[in-house]
């Protein structure tokens, strides 16, 4: 389907680039999104976090007008969704959770086809191709067929493709899943430069380091409901508020009984004991006497918050 770029007919972007208000979605008997509300300000990077099956992709699909909500109000770039979704999407770049590139086309052809979708001429898109390939470090792959690319290269192409229409808002579902550490750092740097140019980003991720580095604010959801929202640093301070000592070794249960009086809180996950401590010194003294243990003393991070809120056991 070709949709002409009707940017001039769009209402100007309100202070909130994305408004999601008391949205509900059921599949059969199952409540997948249960009255979820959040707003993303223009120019902000906002992270939607949650365990597998929490409803993140469903939320993004409703935001884009791909899935119909059962109740609630959604606005994207000031446009009501789903009624004006196709107009809103002219100003939006999308990275779906699973790549949907055309495997029979080359990298360049995939970008050209996408440009056409946004009403760009072949000439206009062809002029954009070098900078898009540079964005994704795929300069040497312009004429390679997508089917010949590695998984990470396809992901980088999907990211580049989302920028064809110079979008105001980027909606990215697990943008760096499947990328090696170097590529992930490259994409973080690229996304920061997009934010510096005033773009708005809504992303989902299972990499808490990614959310902590990039997101101004995050919203943690579980079973389609919000369980926390705020700036990563604020959530770390309010939910954890102290240092963490991770201890690996045999018999974490006996060790926990020994160290619990010295800690604010302890948790066991598999063979790791987590000690949350205001004063790490007494725990260090105990651990120095044990040569059979390895341990790491570190500041609390967003992963600690996520696991505190959603539990250390797998959920689905």
Q: Closest by alpha carbon to 298, among 247, 264, 260, 254? A: 247
CA proximity to 97, closest of 23, 17, 159: 159
Which residue, 178 or 280, is less far from ligand ATP as judged by CB?
Answer: 178
Name the DSSP class of 139: G
Outline where 33-75 has alpha helix (H).
56-63
By CB under 5 A, the residues from 40 to 59 that bind Mg ion are 56-57
**Interface region with Mg ion, contact rule CB under 5 A, candidates 19-27, 71-79, 97-105, 163-171:** 97-105
The Cα 230–Cα 224 span in angstroms is: 17
Q: Which is nearer to ligand ATP, 106 or 310 (CB)?
A: 310
Q: Which helix (H) or strand (E) is 2 found in, with range?
A: none
Q: How far apart are CA 214 and CA 216, in angstroms?
A: 7
- For the bound state, the minimum distance from the C-beta of residue 48 to ligand ATP, rounded and expressed in Å, comes to 8
Residues within the interface to ligand ATP (CB under 6 A)? 27, 32, 50, 52-58, 97
Residue 276 CB, shortest distance to Mg ion, in Å, is 30
Q: Which does 115 bind (CB under 5 to 8 A by kind): ligand ATP, Mg ion, none?
A: none
- Interhelix angle 151-161/107-117, rounded to 10 degrees, is 30
Q: How far is the CB of 60 from ligand ATP (least distance, A)?
A: 8
CA distances from 191 to 130, 198, 200 (A): 18, 11, 10
In the bound state with ligand ATP, the residue whose beta carbon lies nearer, of 53 and 119, is: 53
For the chain, the distance separating the N- and C-terminal CA atoms, rounded to the nearest angstrom, is 37
The three state secondary structure string of 236-256 is HHHHCCCEEEEEECCCHHHHH
Nearest distance from residue 52's CB to ligand ATP, in Å? 3
d(CA 284, CA 301): 20
We find the least distance from the C-beta atom of residue 138 to Mg ion, in angstroms, to be 25
| Residues composing the chain | 316
CB under 8 Å to 12, separation ≥6 — which residues? 78
- The residue among 57 and 205 lying less far from Mg ion, judged by its C-beta, is 57
Instruction: Check if the beta carbon of residue 141 is closer than 8 Å to that of residue 154.
Output: no
Picked from Mg ion, ligand ATP, none, the partner binding residue 50 (CB below 5 to 8 A depending on kind) is ligand ATP
5 binds, among Mg ion, ligand ATP, none (CB under 5 to 8 A by kind): none
Query: Residue 310 touches which of Mg ion, ligand ATP, none (CB < 5 to 8 A by kind)?
Result: none
The one segment of 5-13, 95-103, 117-125, 129-137 that binds Mg ion by CB under 5 A: 95-103
Number of residues that bind Mg ion (CB under 5 A): 3
Query: 248 touches which of Mg ion, ligand ATP, none (CB within 5 to 8 A by kind)?
Result: none
Residue whose CB is less far from ligand ATP, 65 or 78? 65
Binding partner of 98, given Mg ion, ligand ATP, none, CB within 5-8 angstroms per partner class: none
Output the smallest distance, CB 57 to ligand ATP, in A: 3
Cα distances from 39 to residues 16, 18, 22, 85, 127, in angstroms, run 6, 6, 11, 17, 35
Task: Supply the minimum distance, in Å, between the C-beta of residue 231 and ligand ATP.
Answer: 22
Is residue 176 involved in binding Mg ion (CB under 5 A)?
no
Least distance to ligand ATP from the beta carbon of 256, Å? 30
Binding site for Mg ion (CB under 5 A): 56-57, 97
């Amino acid at each position: 389907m070709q949709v002409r770029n009707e940017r001039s007919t769009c209402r100007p972007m309100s202070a909130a680039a994305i408004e999601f208000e008391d949205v509900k979605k059921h599949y059969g008997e199952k409540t997948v999104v249960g009255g979820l509300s959040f707003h993303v300000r223009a120019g902000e990077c906002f992270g939607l976090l949650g365990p597998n099956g929490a409803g993140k992709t469903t939320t993004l699909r409703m935001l884009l007008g791909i899935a119909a909500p059962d109740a609630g109000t959604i606005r994207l770039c000031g446009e009501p969704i789903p009624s004006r979704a196709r107009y809103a999407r002219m100003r939006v770049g999308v990275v779906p959770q699973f790549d949907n590139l055309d495997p029979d086309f080359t990298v360049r052809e995939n970008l050209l086809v996408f440009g056409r979708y946004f009403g760009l001429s072949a000439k206009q898109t062809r002029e954009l191709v070098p900078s898009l390939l540079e964005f994704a470090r795929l300069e040497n792959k312009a004429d390679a067929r997508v089917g010949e690319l590695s998984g990470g290269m396809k992901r980088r192409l999907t990211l580049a493709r989302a920028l064809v229409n110079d979008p105001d808002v980027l909606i990215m579902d697990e943008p760096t899943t499947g990328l090696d550490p170097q590529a992930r750092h490259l994409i973080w740097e690229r996304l920061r430069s997009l934010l510096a140019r005033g773009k708005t980003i809504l992303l989902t991720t299972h990499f808490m380091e990614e959310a902590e580095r990039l997101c101004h604010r995050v919203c943690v959801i579980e079973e389609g409901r919000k369980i926390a929202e705020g700036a990563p640093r604020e959530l770390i301070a309010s939910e954890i508020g102290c240092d963490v000592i991770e201890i690996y070794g045999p018999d974490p249960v006996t060790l926990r009984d020994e160290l619990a009086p010295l800690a604010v809180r302890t948790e066991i996950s598999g063979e790791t004991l987590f000690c949350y401590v205001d004063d790490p010194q007494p725990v260090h003294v105990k651990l120095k006497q044990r040569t059979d243990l390895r341990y790491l003393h570190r500041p609390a991070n967003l992963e600690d918050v996520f696991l505190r809120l959603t539990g250390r056991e797998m959920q689905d």
